[in-house]
Amino acid sequence: MSAADVSTAPSRAPLVSRTVRVDDPGDMLAHLPRHPVGSSLAWLRHDEGLVGWGEALRVDVGGASRFTDAAAAWSDTLAHAVTRDEVRLPGSGPVAFVSFSFADRSPAGGVLVVPETVLGRRGDTWWLTRTSVDGALPDTVPPGPAEDVEPPGQVRFADGAHPGPEWAHRVAQAVQRIRAGAVDKVVLARDLEARTAQPMDPRWLLRRLAGSYPSCWTFAVDGLVGATPELLVRRDRGLVTSRVLAGTIRRSGHDDRDLALAASLARSSKDLEEHEYAVRSVAGALGPHCSGTNVPEAPFVLHLPNVMHLATDVTGTLASDAPGVLELAAALHPTAAVCGTPTGAAADLIDELEGMDRDRYAGPVGWVDANGDGELGIALRCARIDASDPRSLRLFAGCGVVSGSDPEAELAESDAKLVPMRDAVSGG
């Protein structure tokens, strides 16, 4: 674990984790207390999932080995841990939240955090997990509702690394390189800066995103907050799932018009080409770890409040020796949906044309439990709050570029993808 900071690894007393069933606590986000920016943890969809707070253990990782270092640190932690789990569902017992940078060389690196407290829900079952760091059996007193969330006040937005027209020019350069045969597809991202009058409380963003985008996975890990529609990988008791999104069209706000737009998206050769690259990359990465996989012949159209995507759910039955969800994420990342095809050439073109550090944007984010099960999404539709200055945020969006891409249309698509976070930050 040469690249991991394991100064907090269990060399002292082991972690002691205790999980009990609890009555329906209502809105789980309402129990999330105010903490420093990086200590609010969440993974929610349709009012199910996990919220956590406090740090029983934190491991920082970096470089190309960040996934394997995090997996090794988690394995070592569990080897020394004491666990009492009365629920025994994926996500109960000791859980770690994780977030990783998109690029190997990014200083953002990655993090694995074991919360002191977790509230979880799966179906009609709710549970509470407490983890202590002193070797003592923790209490299981249910938390009460937390204090109110203060709004961030007036918000100013500004261009990030590149103004819109300059970014569109870079898309045009990418199209030229694709037509010259350098790559088949490349994904280019852009950022937007936000400045709030008051320090941003992550709970403000979480509540707004979960309310507006219930079918997305709303997340918070280490100051990275968002609502992603794309599931990189779910490992659930021998089954594996990945939801692939590639190909996007902006909604009009009128039902009849949106149905026509959805039909045009499903027939678009440009978008179908982009989607095929992404599905192929995911199926190819999962295949060696599965005894069987299912890849639908055609995508469906996923309707979100602001955009529609071509989507495919790739599923499989894991082989008996299949690794945990962190190792599966390492095998999948980066997919063609956030990098391009071929992967190496697309990554090189991103370095050349994008002109910014993606930070944790488009990297895996989610959770892992003691059995290696868990869910990791791709960190899209997200913002990173500056821990040293919580009034400062970076918002991110990206678009897949293929030979038929139009730079101005890609710029408009990126604007549409920024809407969820712009609205969540500003209260729009």
420 and 211 Cβ atoms separated by less than 8 Å: no
The torsion defined by the Cα of 350, 352, 356 and 357, in degrees rounded to 10, comes to 60
**Considering 55, 147, 166, 230, which one is annotated as catalytic?**
230
Dmax of the chain from CA atoms?
64
Q: Which residues contact 268 (CB under 8 A, 6 or more apart)?
A: 247, 249
Give the angle 412-418-422 at the CA atoms, nearest 5°.
130
Active-site option among 55, 116, 185, 375: 185
Q: What span, in angstroms and rounded, lies between the C-alpha atoms of 21 and 26? A: 14
Query: For tokens 């992967």, what's the residue?
Result: 343
DSSP string, 69-94: HHHHHHHHHHHH-EEEESS-STT-SS
Give yes or no: 413 in active site. Answer: no
400 Rama class: left (phi>0) / alpha (psi -120 to 50) / beta:
beta
Contacts of 230 (CB under 8 A, 6+ apart): 243, 244, 245, 337, 377, 378, 380
Residue 148 near residue 201, CB atoms below 8 Å = no
Spatial distance between the Cα atoms of 320 and 287, rounded to a whole number of angstroms: 13
Q: Report the SS3 class of residue 104.
A: coil
230 is catalytic: yes
Residues 84/19, Cβ–Cβ less than 8 Å:
yes
- Answer yes or no: are the C-beta atoms of 401 and 170 closer than 8 Å: no
Active site residues: 185, 230
